[in-house]
Amino acid sequence: MARDHGFHPVRITRVVDETPDTRTFALDARFPYRAGQFLTFKVCGTLRSYSMSSSPDTDGEVCVTVKRVPGGLVSGWMHERLRPGDTLEATLPGGSFCLRADATDRPLVAYAGGSGITPVFSLVKSALATTPRNVRLLAAHRSADAAIFREALDALAARHPGRLTVRHHLDDRDGLVTAETIGTLADSDADHYLCGPEPFMALVEATLKTFRVASEHLFVERFTPAAPEETPVAPPEPVAGSVTVDLRGGRRTVPQRPGETLLQSARRAGFTPPFSCESGDCATCMARLTDGEAKMRVNNALDPDEVAEGYVLTCQAEPTTPDVTVVYED
């Protein structure tokens, strides 16, 4: 039996303005979750995933924090329209950007850029509440008025002297974050958690490699919207095989292309398949293989039983047999 990946009503109980373009929505949602996880919402005819800024170990309500993106369909609608008492449709929590159960004594170093502080704030609160770990945090923002959770983090540090160290980096005051800045926190004996804009994360990852931080001690959360697919000058030659997609009563077949995921094939077939994170974490794009086989690059969302029943994350699955049929179920 597949897990519940469906949508459920959650009611907004409070709305908190964190910065001029960032709001926290407190939800009357009664489900278990882990620090660092996210919810996927069905809004404006599309799907978006937002991390929870609350911690199940310190907070009595579930909160998601949403930064308004210029021109953003969903974030703009949520900021303009949502009020206490309104109801949203959301999945159960998902994601693997979580604390390791076997690392209760290992120091934790976190790097958050902009709204990347949202899941990191959740992780920091849980680490301090449930383990003796020492925590160091670099919170990077454009300016003081854009610094999400700045006062809350300072208050948390005051409650945990000697255990939590927070460095607020403001670009307009300190310049852009550099490798030297990151190097002051790098520690090969610590677990490192990272979330933020791609250039920020690329810099942190590259710097940590120079400090010999092992990959198993680096945890990265990416929710960058997928870039529009560019039309290649010379489309790659199809391989000898096909992908058949069954979605919302329609059925279409396209030739396989090397290195293309089933989600990409479905788009090429003219469908608009469901997706959200495109990183193998949220299961929004899951579908069932009814013919042929495919291999997932990453799977942080499906149980072994679901995989055995033929379900795949189409954003991660590449065909491994000449002909594949994938069915998106309502």
Asked if residues 185 and 111 have their Cβ atoms less than 8 Å apart, the reply is yes
DSSP-H helix ranges across 230-278: 262-268
Task: Quick: pLDDT tens for 18-40.
Answer: 999 999 999 999 999 999 999 99
pLDDT of residue 239: 64
With a cut of 70, say whether residue 146 has pLDDT above it: yes
The two most distant CA atoms of the chain are separated, in Å, by 63
- Can you give the pLDDT at residue 206? 96
- Which pLDDT belongs to residue 230? 46
Residue 103's pLDDT is: 81
What is the residue-averaged pLDDT of the chain? 92
User: And the tokens for 12?
Assistant: 């907004």
If you search the block for the tokens 């369909």, which residue do you land on?
A: 73
Residue 290 has pLDDT above 50, yes or no: yes
Q: Is the pLDDT of residue 224 over 80?
A: no
Share of the chain above pLDDT 70, in %: 94
Measured distance CA(282)–CA(279) in Å, rounded: 8
pLDDT value, residue 238: 56
Q: Cα torsion at 316, 320, 321, 327 (round to 10°)?
A: -10
The tokens describing 200, both together, are 């920020």
The residue among 143 and 282 whose pLDDT is bigger is 143
pTM of the model: 0.82
Q: pLDDT tens-digit profile of 56-78?
A: 999 999 999 999 999 999 999 99
Tokens (6 digits) for 121: 């704030």
Q: Average pLDDT of 149-156?
A: 98
Please report the pLDDT score of residue 150 as a whole number: 97
What pLDDT score was predicted for residue 228? Answer: 42
Query: Cα(183)–Cα(211) distance, rounded to whole angstroms?
Result: 8
**pLDDT tier at 229, thresholds 50, 70, 90:** very low
Q: Which residues are bridge partners to 27 per DSSP?
A: 12, 62
pLDDT of 323 above 70: yes
Kindly state the average pLDDT of the residues 263-281: 90
Q: Average pLDDT, stretch 145-160? A: 97
How confident is residue 217, by pLDDT bands cut at 50, 70 and 90?
very high
